[in-house]
Chain A
Amino acid sequence: MNPANIQIRSHLNGPGADESAPYGSDRHKTRWLAACTARLGGTIIDAARYPYSMRCSEFKDLHCSFVDDTLAGVELVRMQRHIAECADCARLDASVRRSLMLVRSLQPIEPSADFAFRLDARLRECRLSQASVTGGRFRTVAAIGAIASLIMLGYVAETMKVTDQRHTLPEIVLPPAVAMAIPPDTTPVPSIVASVSAGMPIWPAALLVEQGGLQTVSYTQPR
């Protein structure tokens, strides 16, 4: 079995774990992993028994924080222990730190002498363009306002013109009213013949005549 393929499960308590977890060189590491595999008879190694050792992949994952010195105390100790145990990772750590020292020691470059002049010139242009944009906006708004006013005025004028036209329209001349004589009603009215006894008092008789549209005919019996 290739020792590189051995899976180390960190939270599994298994029997037969080796307390020494000793990798100092590649050869040593290979031999140790092979021995563990042989003892366990499988591919799982219990890493819970090795609180101070870690896998190289874990070391590489944490290396960024390790270099920046932002690891918690326990992790820091584990990383340092791993460096002491693993030559590959120790080499990687050293090379990264050396190269970073080189980068950080680089002298910063300074802006050229005419940088400030050029920037000033550009800022002036910027101010002018901003002012012209603001002025342009004002002019645009003013122009739009003027056009709107003109349109409004035109509309009002047109409306007034229409109103005037309405006033000057010729009046409708109606035909003259001609009084016409109403022809007499010739419809026959049913004649009601009522007789009132002479002995009736005069006022009820007069009322009857008025309401009934009757005509009074006086009749005096000849003697």
Chain B
Amino acid sequence: MATAARKTLPALAHAELVGSTIRDRLRTAEDSEVVSAFLSGEERAFSELVERYQTRLLNFIYRTIGDREKAEDLVQEVFIRVYRHLHRFDRSKKFSTWVYTIASNLAKNELRNRSRNPLVLFQTITKNWQDEERPLQFEDPGNRPDDLFRKRDIREKVEEAVGQLPEHHRNVFVLRELEGKSYEEIAEITHTNLGTVKSRLNRARNSFAEIIGPWLG
């Protein structure tokens, strides 16, 4: 398998010959090259993809569903799906868009399931209560407690405000403001047109400003 990868990726093979490892070469390669390497049998390429996207996807899903533990599970599910179906991925498109589309769909399903099952929603809420009781020093031991409290307070308020946005507005809002996606990419990820993306983003921004406004003073 590795031989096949070297055959199809002469640059990688060369990199190995001159002393640089494939992993180093993968680190600097474009997503499309890493995907090609994986499809040619280079298993290490998948680790590189995980490395690149795990934090971004975790933040995206977490901001969308508001439950960290579940968000981690869903990120893992995203990677499992990528692993299984990467051979079906249309390589003329951006890998990041594809991966975010999977993540967005999983997050949407999670929210849908929660709305159908009030018990899950209740458990999520109580889990968040328990999170609030965690000792502060586990988060950032370098800071003063009052700074820490303020930071945590800000984060909670912002997360709460994001959580109050309607689902389809929130999705677009997180993709734009936290993930820095372009309008076109958001349209592709959310299966909507450009006009809808702009309109939803505009409304989401205004709603968010309204929600967080009183707290900002």
A contact residues vs B (CB 8 Å cutoff): 60-61, 63-65, 67, 92, 95-96, 98-100, 102-104, 106-112, 115-116, 118-119, 122-123, 126, 130
Complex contact A99–B208 (CB within 8 A): yes
Complex contact A103–B178 (CB within 8 A): yes
Measured between alpha carbons, how far is A100 from B79 in the docked complex, in Å? Answer: 30
Complex contact A130–B84 (CB within 8 A): yes
CB within 8 A of B178: which of A60, A104, A115?
A104
5 examples of A-B residue contacts, CB within 8 angstroms = A64-B202, A103-B178, A110-B55, A118-B76, A122-B76
Measured between alpha carbons, how far is A63 from B76 in the docked complex, in Å? Answer: 37
Given A64-B201, A65-B198, A106-B158, also A92-B206 (CB < 8 A): yes
Complex contact B205–A96 (CB within 8 A): yes
Interface string of B66-90 (1 = CB under 8 A from A): 0010001001100110011000000
Closest residue of A by beta carbon distance from B84: A126
Residues from chain A with Cβ under 8 Å of B209 in the complex = 92, 95-96, 98-100
Complex contact A102–B68 (CB within 8 A): no
Complex contact A119–B208 (CB within 8 A): no
Complex contact B62–A109 (CB within 8 A): yes
Given A109-B59, A118-B76, A123-B79, also A100-B205 (CB < 8 A): yes
Given A109-B59, A110-B55, also A102-B216 (CB < 8 A): yes
Measured between alpha carbons, how far is A204 from B209 in the docked complex, in Å? Answer: 141
Please name the 8 residue pairs, one residue from A and one from B, whose CB atoms are nearest each other, closest first: A64-B202, A99-B209, A95-B209, A96-B209, A99-B212, A108-B59, A103-B177, A96-B205
Measured between alpha carbons, how far is A65 from B216 in the docked complex, in Å? Answer: 24
Complex contact B205–A126 (CB within 8 A): no
Residues from chain B with Cβ under 8 Å of A126 in the complex = 80, 83-84
How close is B119's CB to chain A, nearest CB, in angstroms? 24
Judged by a CB distance under 8 angstroms, whether B103 is at the interface is no
Complex contact A102–B50 (CB within 8 A): no
How close is B133's CB to chain A, nearest CB, in angstroms? 18
Interface string of B19-50 (1 = CB under 8 A from A): 00000000000000000000000000010001
Closest residue of B by beta carbon distance from A95: B209
Residues from chain A with Cβ under 8 Å of B216 in the complex = 95, 98-99, 102
Complex contact B62–A102 (CB within 8 A): no
Closest residue of B by beta carbon distance from A97: B209
Closest residue of B by beta carbon distance from A67: B205
How close is B148's CB to chain A, nearest CB, in angstroms? 12
Judged by a CB distance under 8 angstroms, whether B155 is at the interface is yes
How close is A194's CB to chain B, nearest CB, in angstroms? 108
CB within 8 A of B158: which of A95, A102, A109, A119?
A102
Complex contact B80–A123 (CB within 8 A): yes
Residues from chain A with Cβ under 8 Å of B79 in the complex = 119, 123
Closest residue of A by beta carbon distance from B77: A122
Measured between alpha carbons, how far is A96 from B212 in the docked complex, in Å? Answer: 10
Residues from chain A with Cβ under 8 Å of B65 in the complex = none
Residues from chain A with Cβ under 8 Å of B75 in the complex = 111, 115
Known: A98-B209, A106-B155, A115-B72. 14 other contacts (CB 8 A): A63-B205, A95-B216, A96-B205, A100-B209, A103-B158, A103-B177, A103-B208, A109-B55, A109-B68, A110-B58, A111-B58, A119-B76, A122-B80, A123-B46
CB within 8 A of B154: which of A65, A92, A96, A102?
A102
How close is A54's CB to chain B, nearest CB, in angstroms? 16
Closest residue of B by beta carbon distance from A70: B183
Residues from chain A with Cβ under 8 Å of B177 in the complex = 100, 103-104
Given A108-B55, A122-B76, also A96-B206 (CB < 8 A): yes
Measured between alpha carbons, how far is A110 from B202 in the docked complex, in Å? Answer: 29
Closest residue of B by beta carbon distance from A100: B177
